[in-house]
Structure 1
């Protein structure tokens, strides 16, 4: 079928909305009419080829939409279901079987190859194959092919107007919230520092408030984002241009240091601060996606005396469970993610990307309809 898709044709190039051909769904695939998709930092990392997927490519991995048809082997969802699209996991490797699909042995090839799991292409342009199947969805398009492993059904009560808001739950929102609620799992009354007040970091701030953290420090360079962090649950904010975040955290924790920290910027010098702001047995989670080969320097003594540094993928989320919980929290008014979102028409994708990179949009959401 012919669809409209946003194609990146060259490194760091603009998104070009073009007519392409999308395959019919195979037995284990699902055809989704995309109504909305979030713009994520990971899309831009691939556009810039820090994670190289062959160009041209159709990106987008925070899609939400309505199922138009399913392959004959698909039984868990049906035509007409409203769904959020997330990352793909194989379901069979030790990590998947142990309930940790974000660490699937096949995570990289299944989500970043630009092809189906069997290596075939699903999108052609004028008869020539182009890369797609990004996170097994490529949702910067009017339609997407997904897999039963990365489709999450949402309640039928969710209106089509509201559904695009839940697209980013499939990656960025669940990454930040899950890093707090699933990975760090802080006890009520503890302290946490979140480095970076973008969509991932602010989702973490909201989750920290839900978890009962009583000292929540947000660190950023953007005053408007710090102001929003306060409204979303931060108890303190630090502009790193003006103040030393490590010293500030020491001052608001009685000189002891924080219980937990999250680093969302993918900057080595910030990761070091996120480790050094902790007390002796504190835990730092690293979320930001850096260019391949990025290295960080740490004082080994900062780790020796009990601190923990661990990487976190997708907020340690099992999407079929965690996304539904986040939607319920949002519907109860306890997780106000709409406050970090800016909405754009699909044909405004380059404006959405530019305003994201300029810091004016925290979480850009594209509307295909």
Structure 2
């Protein structure tokens, strides 16, 4: 079968290769891949700016169907719709250090697999990993509460998913910041619940202060992976120049892959709380995500802006890099069979 692999360390070295269908052990599932989401992390691996272990088949956002199960697999049967926690063990990540979903079939250890309902579209299920990461960002790291003002910097897949999640948590208003060239993405953000959108080029902190009565946002989520976005996040957060502080929280989920230069004076002077968000809290977070998928809480169709065959991977990567897509799905076995 053909698989999209990072074949060697360094910049580039991503190509379609002929590989065998994976063997499975008694505790494994052979999953037929329906969809694999193109993620910014894939681009970083291509650019040698993200951890990985080569050679490896890429693709860490995915959905599929249990095609064959090992003799010790008891929680799943052939035909089940599946997603999976990509962290199989410390430092062992599907699609990063272990073979992933940019291939017709992949091996899943049963302890990381989750079944979604038969009524859940596999295109939607493919967004399980972004939903998990957003749940961790909004609930487990930012802890957005009813009545909070929330600013989201960067209208990419994580930013737009965070718009919906912040509204679900009862945010008073959600303000989404992006470039003028991001107008398509900003429009999707408005469709999915953003109360206001601001342009990065137009001093968005000024707009945020006007919209929040001069106080700034209780929570700012930096999802742009840009130096300017980091500065916007700091500038838009609610400051507490006197007293106990703790009024404004900035959460970074981006990976930059290089050093940044930003002015941190207002972090100290404004007593801001800076947090990072990466990964998730294991099974608890994934069970939340499966429940949200099964209940159809999110409007996911507007986020899925393109579908590609595996042979079209270069176009898919290029369009994400050019910010033409929000979430693009690659279908190694084509569409419509499940």
TM-score by length of 2: 0.86
Aligned to 1:163, which of 104, 122, 140?
A: 122
Question: What is the distance in 2 between the residues matched to 1:25 and 1:298?
Answer: 51
Question: What is the distance in 2 between the residues matched to 1:316 and 1:304?
Answer: 32
Shift of 1:151: 1.4
Shift of 1:208: 1.2
Question: What is the distance in 2 between the residues matched to 1:354 and 1:24?
Answer: 32
SS of residue matched to 1:134: coil
- Matched with 1:4 is 2
Query: For 1:187-236, what per-residue CA distance to the aligned partner results, in whole angstroms no more than 9, with x for missing partners?
Result: 22210000100111000001111112121110111122112211111111
- Matched with 2:198 is 238
Shift of 1:45: 0.8
- Paired residues for 1:209-248 under 5 Å: 209-221=167-179, 222-241=182-201, 243-248=202-207
Check the 8 A contact 1:37/1:167 in 2, yes or no. yes
Question: What is the distance in 2 between the residues matched to 1:12 and 1:302?
Answer: 35
Q: Greater shift after overlay, 62-71 or 282-291?
A: 62-71
Question: What is the distance in 2 between the residues matched to 1:64 and 1:207?
Answer: 21
Check the 8 A contact 2:31/2:108 in 1, yes or no. yes
- Matched with 2:96 is 134
Question: What is the distance in 2 between the residues matched to 1:206 and 1:135?
Answer: 31
Shift of 1:286: 0.6
SS of residue matched to 1:359: coil
Question: What is the distance in 2 between the residues matched to 1:224 and 1:42?
Answer: 22
TM-score by length of 1: 0.79
Aligned to 1:193, which of 129, 143, 151?
A: 151
Query: For 1:60-84, what per-residue CA distance to the aligned partner results, in whole angstroms no more than 9, with x for missing partners?
Result: 0011111122334433323322101
Q: Greater shift after overlay, 18-27 or 358-367?
A: 18-27
- Matched with 1:110 is 92
Supply the RMSD in Å over aligned alpha carbons. 2.3
- Matched with 1:307 is 272
Shift of 1:359: 1.3
Aligned to 1:283, which of 249, 254, 257?
A: 249
Question: What is the distance in 2 between the residues matched to 1:184 and 1:275?
Answer: 15
Pair 1:25–1:319, CA change in 2 (3 A): farther
Shift of 1:52: 4.6
Pair 1:265–1:166, CA change in 2 (3 A): same
SS of residue matched to 1:6: strand
Question: What is the distance in 2 between the residues matched to 1:28 and 1:189?
Answer: 46
SS of residue matched to 1:351: helix
Check the 8 A contact 1:183/1:315 in 2, yes or no. no
Structure 2, unmatched stretches of 5+, are: 241-246
Query: For 1:74-96, what per-residue CA distance to the aligned partner results, in whole angstroms no more than 9, with x for missing partners?
Result: 33323322101232154xxxxxx
Shift of 1:37: 0.7
- Matched with 1:360 is 324
Q: State how many pairs are aligned.
A: 321
